[in-house]
Structure 1
């Protein structure tokens, strides 16, 4: 009896030992074919961030199951899996076999990629996996063309290079995170550098309101208006982007009362106000350097550092992974919204993780605010995370390449068509021919090509932007670090009148503010594109050559022109040298 009892105790101990022992986690981690599944009939998963907080449900399915809800465009899947110790000498890949519809894939809340119809696909997830912890993979499938789903997903190690697909993210099929306000369709922006106006202050800009109205401007972008750091100051006045205090105005520009007066005047004239907000750096003598040193990036020795590639010593780079800093930046933006500001250009955003913009947007939504947010970069993913518009750098480069003889007129239509494909649908791109970082267009390209570029940005999709003094006769480049003397009465009337006419034309033409863009049969000399809206099509044509050109197209009427170019008979358009017109 005693012997049997001992045997039972021994076997029980063995069972307990095995039951308590931690199971070996396979390397690479295993995915099953069972996924928590939710149908998204209202297309609300993106805005409600299901990729971070998945809806509660007990329904399990696979990514290849039959579609159970025909009225639902999207189906979401989530799988939680354990990852053990990772092999630091290996790469880990998410391998997908037979992708039958557009799909978004997130790992641990971060968007990995957008994939489309393909037999096989793999993406390197080594940097996204969290070792010795649970990881979450979320997929959104789209029901498109009676096709849907992903047949098989596995995590693999060290795939052969031939298994990898070099692909470009298909942003065009992705949804915008934030629906911008309707007024954005009609925006015409004027970038203003307060320092360089006559008087160099808010009152000087206020006195220019009638000019802005005549030019058709309905949003003014003020470059930073804050006190400038004095330590390691560049030039006689310093860079306006080296901010020493975010919650007040530069005394040279005027008091908060003067700022309020400017804002009121602008709003009375239906001009919105956008502030240039440096959110990635501060001046080296900002009080936060002393009071909140954890707000800043540091090197291995613990010293605060400048942004990567920045040559001057007047700013320190913020550590944008610090939640306390993000809250402080939000309070900075909130403060200026309370002062009546309508919009922000987020300077430094091109070097910031796009997830932060979603935090900003969600914060504003919670506060009942809806400011227009402009990136200083051209990245498409900024529009997927809450910003309203990005910079149209590609079109500016096309203007320069044509002017420098590196390309011909066909580059204009090709660039705009490529831009449409490279961004989510209904994206807003700010187009320009000069800004505070570029050479002056009139001086560097000449008057004729400057006017062709102006004509292009006002007739293309997006938002046209005019730079401070662009309406003047041969204006000088304005220094970022000192005051440039400018005669604001030396107006170049052909340019002034052209901007005014183009602004009026754009605002009165829904086809320009809402229409689609399509390429045309352009030539080396004649570039352009078509715009389509509802049942109407317009053709935008520009002659980059130095001689008169003819163009055959099925049109009857000239809608807008330089005064000479246009339809001369049914199906035939003549364009003067460096001429332009819109025909239908």
Structure 2
């Protein structure tokens, strides 16, 4: 009986209701990062998204993504890929031969402009993946400006990392490189009206450059900047958001039984001390690297996957969804070759739609200092397996109670929460009140309950 109750509770959390559009109207007069306070992010892998693998073929998906609640599109590199030292057969997206051109396999510049225009019409913003640390070996700078590169003792181009044999390391001690790279980035803003960049291995590029680049970009357009790096120094350089790599690895460990709820609480407390409250942190169960090299979410997380995805959307941070996760992507997409995501069944689209709606509608779940802080509400005897926390912002509160183990667990709510009535998810018609007698509740393996009070939808 208890199992059925909690299966119903999970389903009720995923209750359908309309999104709130007032936020987008208000955001238009704000600047980043505040404009992105309630946003989420979705990674677009153009090569693998459709059988055609083109920008044009991706465009029809934009309406579906808008309906799912996606706010930010992070588009993986669309530029031409180097031929020299290419990793066959198609090469890495991150081996860029020409910064200001579009890979002919993906389409033409006009196709990308259509993507940006349609995204803006759908009130989404677009970030282009940017590779500042290195270029392809046959980038025109290699011939025109060899001084832009770190050369070996024989005066030859060299790779920044031993197994990155298809890319040549750039030399940021050369001040002329700084301006040349900034000019390339600004070209995309002025030519295509993108809204910012996701910057590949950003911590391998000096902060001195990023400070100059971001200041220059901001003088052109208000931009949102994401650093692929997990260090506070990136925010000092002007980045709005950084990767939560450690959090991601912790989620994988929890799924395997190598870490637990106590580990998660310790991480979140440490992260608050490490990062300023204004810093946005990006959390995820998958991305292009994880999927290709370490496995699908089902390989890495198994039955824990849904619960861990819920965590990425409810702890302080911005949730990322990778291409195909809403379709239950159950294969590793090759990094250097063509494959196609199977869109025949959108098995998780409803799940992600409700998660994104929950975040939109509850200021307590918003990003950075715009949301509520993480507060553990119970310390039960089985605290290594059960996680219960609250996030509160003004009169909005979200409670999350979760079994982070592969066995049934009991849970007794803290007495401070007895007698209070909460909505299940965002549905005002379905409520729960914790009784004064505090009867133990049974949670099946990896099950969870999400409760809210006074969300935007209520008002």
TM-score tier by shorter-chain length is 0.7 to 0.9
What's the offset of the Cα at 1:412?
Answer: 2.1
- Shift in Å at residue 368 of structure 1? 3.8
Does the C-alpha gap of structure 1 residues 497 and 451 become closer, same or farther in structure 2, counting only changes over 3 Å?
same
**What is the CA-CA distance between 1:533 and the residue it aligns to?**
1.6
1:515 paired to 2:381: no
Q: Is the 8 A contact 2:386 2:409 kept in 1?
A: no
Alignment of structure 1 residues 118-129 onto 2, 5 Å: none
Residues matched between the structures, number: 401
How do 1:196-275 and structure 2 match up within 5 A? 196-198=48-50, 199-275=52-128
> Partner of 1:383 in structure 2?
235
The answer to whether the 8 Å contact 1:568/1:574 transfers is no
Q: 2:421 — aligned with what?
A: 557
> 1:429 Cα shift?
0.4
Judge conservation of contact 2:137–2:157 (CA < 8 Å) in 1: no
Q: Contact 1:266 / 1:273 at 8 angstroms: preserved in 2? A: yes
Q: Distance in 2 between matches of 1:536 and 1:217?
A: 22
Residue in 1 aligned with 2:408?
547
Displacement, 1:369? 2.0
Partner of 2:39: 187
**Is contact 1:395-1:431 (8 Å) kept?**
yes
Matched, 1:432 2:281: no
The structure whose RCO (Cα within 8 Å, separation 6+) is larger is: 2
Q: 1:566 to 1:321 in 2, by over 3 A?
A: farther
Match of 1:491 among 327, 346, 355: 346
Q: Deviations over 1:2-42 (max 9, x none)?
A: xxxxxxxxxxxxxxxxxxxxxxxxxxxxxxxxxxxxxxxxx
What is the aligned partner in structure 1 of residue 21 from structure 2?
none
Residue 314 of structure 2 is aligned with which of 441, 456, 459?
Answer: 459
2:311 aligned with 1:450 = no
What residue number does 2:449 align with?
Answer: 581
2:134 equivalent in structure 1: 281
**2:358–2:425 contact (8 Å) kept in structure 1:** no
Distance 1:378 1:565, change over 3 A: farther
The 1:524/1:567 distance shift into structure 2, 3 A limit, reads farther
Aligned equivalents of 1:548, 1:349: Cα separation in 2:
42
Give 1 or 2 for the bigger CA radius of gyration: 1
Q: Distance in 2 between matches of 1:517 and 1:332?
A: 40
Q: Structure 1 pair 394/252, CA: closer, same or farther in 2 (3 Å)?
A: same
Distance in structure 1 (CA, Å) of the matches to 2:142 and 2:289: 28
Shift of 1:536: 5.1
Query: Once superposed, which parts of structure 1, at least 4 consecutive aligned residues long, lie more than 4 Å away?
Result: 561-568, 570-574
Give the gaps of 5 or more residues in structure 2. 1-30, 453-459
CA distance in 2, matches of 1:565, 1:399: 30
CA displacement 1:413-472 (0-9 Å, x = unmatched) = 2222211111112210011011111121123212x4111111111111121100111112
- Aligned equivalents of 2:188, 2:388: Cα separation in 1: 41
In structure 1, the partner of 2:385 is: 525
Name whichever of 181-190 and 240-249 sits farther off: 181-190
Alignment of 1:347-362 (within 5 A): 347-362=200-215
Residues 550 and 562 of structure 1: is their aligned pair in 2 closer, same or farther, counting only changes over 3 Å?
farther
SS in 2 for 1:301: coil
Q: Summarize the Cα distance change of 1:536–1:342 in structure 2 as closer, same or farther, 3 Å threshold.
A: closer
Q: Which residue is equivalent to 2:267? A: 415
2: CA distance between counterparts of 1:337 and 1:286? 21
Q: Which runs of 5+ in 1 are unaligned?
A: 1-178
CA distance 1:508–1:561, change in 2 (3 Å): closer
Counting strand residues as a fraction of each chain, which structure ranks higher?
1
| 1:221–1:536 CA distance, 2 compared to 1 (3 A) | closer
Equivalents in 1 of 2:115, 2:215: separation in Å? 29
Q: Residue 569 of structure 1: SS of its match in structure 2?
A: coil
Evaluate the alpha carbon distance shift between residue 505 and residue 402 of structure 1 in structure 2; reply closer, same or farther with a 3 A threshold: same
Q: Can you list the C-alpha shifts for 1:295-336, whole angstroms capped at 9, x where unaligned?
A: 0011233222110x3403211000012111110111111111
Contact 2:208-2:237 at 8 Å conserved across structures: yes
TM-score (norm 2): 0.83
**Superposition pairs for residues 128-143 of structure 1, below 5 Å?**
none
Partner deviation per Cα, 1:246-283 (whole Å, 9 max, x = no partner)? 10110111111111111111111111111001011000
Alignment equivalent of 1:569, drawn from 423, 426, 435: 435
| Larger helix percent | 2
Tell me the distance in 2 between the aligned counterparts of 1:189 and 1:550. Answer: 33
Single out whichever of 434-443 and 332-341 deviates more from structure 2: 434-443
Aligned twin of 2:172: 320
Deviation string 1:196-229 (CA, Å, 9 cap, x unpaired) is 0112011122111122113211111111000000
Cα separation, partners in 2 of 1:474 and 1:345, compared to 1, 3 Å: closer
Instruction: Check the 8 A contact 2:408/2:442 in 1, yes or no.
Output: no
What do residues 325-358 of structure 1 show as CA deviations (whole Å, max 9, x unaligned)? 1101111111111111111011121212222211
Alpha-carbon separation, structure 2, partners of 1:190 and 1:444: 20
Q: Which residue of 1 aligns with 2:7?
A: none
Deviation at residue 520 of structure 1 after TM alignment? 3.7
